[in-house]
Structure 1
Amino acid sequence: MECNTETPRLEVETEEAIYEIEFGQIQIEITGRCNMKCQHCRAANQPKQDMPVEQIVKIIRFGRQFSPNYKEIILSGGEPLQHRDFANVLRQVRENGGESITLTTNGSLLTDEHLSLIEELSFQRFVLSVSLDNLNPAEHDKFRVHKGAFLKAVAALRRVAESGLPNVVASMRSTIQASQISEMERMVVFARDIGCKRVSFSAIHPAGRAIERNDFWMTREEKFAFIKEVYRLKELFTDLNVTTNDPLKCLFRGKNDLGKEGELVFDGCGAAVITFNVNADGTMTPCALLDVPMMNVFPLSIEEMTELYRENLIVRNMLAMNLKGKCGKCSIKYQCGGCRARALIQNGDFFGEDPHCWV
């Protein structure tokens, strides 16, 4: 499939307006199987099965109708390298519009053969996002409930960095607790020293096993300190990309909601608007953190998926940002949107306000 920079938009008509969606990110949980039992795992309750390759292809083709080929596809799990037909998955993804890929992995199963396959397929950009959550090996292993997880993650990151493959990025993905905010700079230094070009920090979201572990969640004040530290490190370390996926990052960036005339920029929570997730059993959700089914894509054609997406009430309400509480009144709600997963779990309302917002 050739690179396509001009794509049609998915038209959704609501009572207030007609919106045209361009997907910025597609996430596919290609397997629910994993060799670890992480304490915070958002996918802990997913069926332990591999997604059929033909279903993966169909999902990509659905998304690529309304998304240029250079937009990101995330392959996750479970542990995606445990998919029994992983090599074929990667080949089919590449052949069907996957030019920019992020593979989220614990790193324990990564081999030179995987890197050779990635090199062979000549991706425009391939990010190997390896989980490393603590610089203390024992603490990381405890958090991941897997002996040797730390050493395997570090070995994977080194393997990627030292491969020298063009367009392949070694990225350290760190899911941390409030007590580790003071350690974030040391983590960035460590990542840089082993050859990483990117460090992605995340707080623990109330999803999966972490729903029952509110001791893992940050308070509003801690979240402010966390994101503030991300941006301090971003300015300090200009030789690598320090980032976070928390939508409240928009409160530090100070950007406006509008892009070009008549264009809304969703740069925070784009759940069910500019991004979607599909679990290994075919259940589509607004994002990987939200266990809110939109449809099961397995029995559907691409045309049926398109129509159901267009008519989905979550999509329509997220497009209009029909949020409640202070999120609904916020002047940058399109740019931020708050975290819908936190709103659902802590307020009992998908469209409620983000309890971590300090504004």
Structure 2
Amino acid sequence: MNDEGRNVDTAITRGCLHPAAGDVMRYFEEERVYSLQIESTLACPQGCRYCYAPPDAGQVRELPAADIAAVLTSAAAMGVRVVDWLGGDPLARGDWHDLALQARDLGLVNNIWSSGIPLADPSIAEQAVAVTEGGFISVHLDTLDPAIYARLHDGDAREKIRAICRGIENLQAFGKPASELVNCITFTRPLAGSDLARTMRYFCEELGMTVCLTQMCTVGGACSRPEWVPTVAEIRDACRARDAICCPGSPRSFGTMDVDKFYCGTAICVTVDGDITPCSVIREGFKNIRDRTLCEIVTDHRDELLFSGMRRKGPSSSACARCEQNSVCWGCRAMAYYETGDPLGPDPKCWRAAGGR
């Protein structure tokens, strides 16, 4: 395979996030759920001021363990392959390890999306590595600059940055390879330009980790921070810098969210309140797990949950479905939902959809 071919494979694998990218793509073609996101708690030590979690997230809520157990059982019966543990920070929950063991015992692979701060505790990092065999662990560090970090987050910026970096060191010390570690960066205007590029280069080039560049959606805490919403031009420049740093030479590129359509089109979420949604950022769901089983909800709402309308090309289809990058990308469905009210519409924060190639 030539160098370009390897880069394409790398781009698709990076966009799937899951190590088994081929399985994700197969599930996408079969319109099946590969990944179940579970928003287990709203508790989080990081204090992101733009968090998409509900505005009352300070009133810490958890999805009851009994509900999680029922969802895990149903997911395994459906052939779901992985659980993406979300929050808040799922590691802030006291029984997180027991829940992850339940998932593993059912044959599900665990992925953990953490702030990274709890992983500074070596015992937590060791448990996280053991329970995510075959999966990934994501931390969340937007910037290495304490002054910028302090604008975006509550608390002691320097100590939180140090804690996240210690957490990464702990994970690697307990055997988690860099290829199974992700740093999730939420792109806001304070990061635009050299700071974002510097952060991505550090994690991608120096540490060998995957970078997941996400965009700030105007939902939850972000609604009170409109000045932090990047312009389309700033998003274009950020994504081009990401492509050059993380996947040089590849003709494939994702738009405003750094996952490809294969990840997006095979994942669903159960929120902390038990609602089933197509995405953790889209807060409006289809039925609740306390009223119907996960399998029943997915059966009745598969088209909406897996964005089936985005898979059909035609005169009336979304511009994202006809884009030159549609082989891997269909824009951010959450961005389309919040900006236009149509989750199947064009992504208004994508420079391609806006006409700026």
In the other structure, the counterpart of 1:347 is 340
Aligned to 2:180: 169
Contact 2:42 2:88 in 1 (8 A): yes
**Residues 205, 245 of structure 1: alpha-carbon distance in 2 compared, 3 angstrom cutoff:** farther
Instruction: Between 292-301 and 187-196, report the one with greater CA deviation.
Output: 187-196
Q: In structure 2, do the counterparts of structure 1 residues 117 and 36 end up closer, same or farther at CA, with 3 Å as the change threshold?
A: closer
The reply on whether 1:145 has 2:154 as its aligned counterpart is yes
Counterparts of 1:1-359 in structure 2 under 5 Å? 20-45=30-55, 48-67=60-79, 69=81, 72-99=82-109, 101-110=110-119, 111-121=121-131, 123-147=132-156, 148-165=159-176, 169-178=180-189, 179-191=191-203, 195=207, 197-235=209-247, 246=255, 267-268=260-261, 271=264, 273-310=265-302, 317-318=309-310, 320=312, 326-327=319-320, 330=323, 335-359=328-352
**Which secondary structure state, in structure 2, belongs to the residue aligned with residue 232 of structure 1?**
helix
Unmatched segments (≥5 aa) in structure 1: 11-18, 251-266
Deviation digits for residues 101-151 of structure 1 (CA, Å, limit 9, x no counterpart)? 321112222222223324554x43242211111111232133121223222
- Three-state SS of the structure 2 residue aligned to 1:26 is strand
What SS does structure 1 have at the residue aligned with 2:280? coil
The separation in 2 between residues aligned to 1:247 and 1:124, in whole angstroms, is 29
Structure 2 unaligned segments of length 5 or more: list them: 1-19, 353-357
| Paired residues of 2:235 and 2:256 also in contact (CA < 8 A) | no
- Take 2:181 and 2:23, find their aligned partners in 1: how far apart are those partners? 30
- Preserved CA contact (<8 Å) 2:335 2:348: yes
- Counterpart residue type for residue 266 of structure 2: I
Q: Is the 8 A contact 1:74 1:103 kept in 2?
A: yes
Residue 30 and residue 134 in structure 1: after superposition, are their counterparts in 2 closer, same or farther (change >3 A)? same
Q: Which amino acid aligns with 1:77?
A: G
Quote the sequence identity (%): 21
Contact 1:62 1:305 in 2 (8 A): no
* Alpha-carbon spacing, 1:190–1:75, altered in 2? closer, same or farther (3 Å): same
How far 1:249 sits from its partner (Å)?
A: 6.6
TM-score w.r.t. length of structure 2: 0.75
1:196 positional shift: 5.0
Change (3 A) 1:54 1:321: farther
The residue type paired with residue 41 of structure 1 is C
Cα distance in 1 between the residues matched to 2:225 and 2:232:
16
| Residues 1:50 and 1:246: Cα distance change in structure 2 (over 3 Å) | farther
Aligned alpha-carbon RMSD (Å): 3.7
AA aligned opposite 1:183? D
Comparing both structures, which one devotes a greater share of its residues to helix? 2
* 1:78, distance to aligned residue in structure 2 (A): 0.9
Deviation at 1:172, TM superposition (A): 2.2
Matches of 2:124 and 2:144, distance apart in 1: 26
Shift in CA distance, 162/193, structure 1 to aligned 2, threshold 3 Å: farther
Please say if residues 298 and 305 of structure 2, whose CA atoms lie closer than 8 Å, have aligned partners that are also in contact.
Answer: no
Question: Number of aligned pairs?
Answer: 323
CA distance in structure 1 between the partners assigned to 2:101 and 2:47 by the alignment: 28
CA contact (8 A) 2:216 2:229 kept: yes
Q: Which amino acid aligns with 1:347?
A: T
In proportion to residue count, which structure has more strand?
1
Q: Measured at CA, do residues 87 and 218 of structure 1 come closer, stay the same or move farther in structure 2, by a change above 3 Å?
A: same
Mean CA deviation greater in 38-47 or 159-168 = 159-168
Name the SS for the 1:215 alignment partner.
helix
1:287-344 Cα distance to aligned partner (Å, 9 max, x none):
0111221111123234433433347588554554797663465466574322222222
Whole-angstrom CA distance in 1 between matches of 2:255 and 2:84: 17
Secondary structure at the aligned position of 1:125 is classed as: coil
> Partner letter of residue 108 of structure 1?
I
Q: Which TM-score applies when normalising by structure 1?
A: 0.75
SS in 2 for 1:296: coil
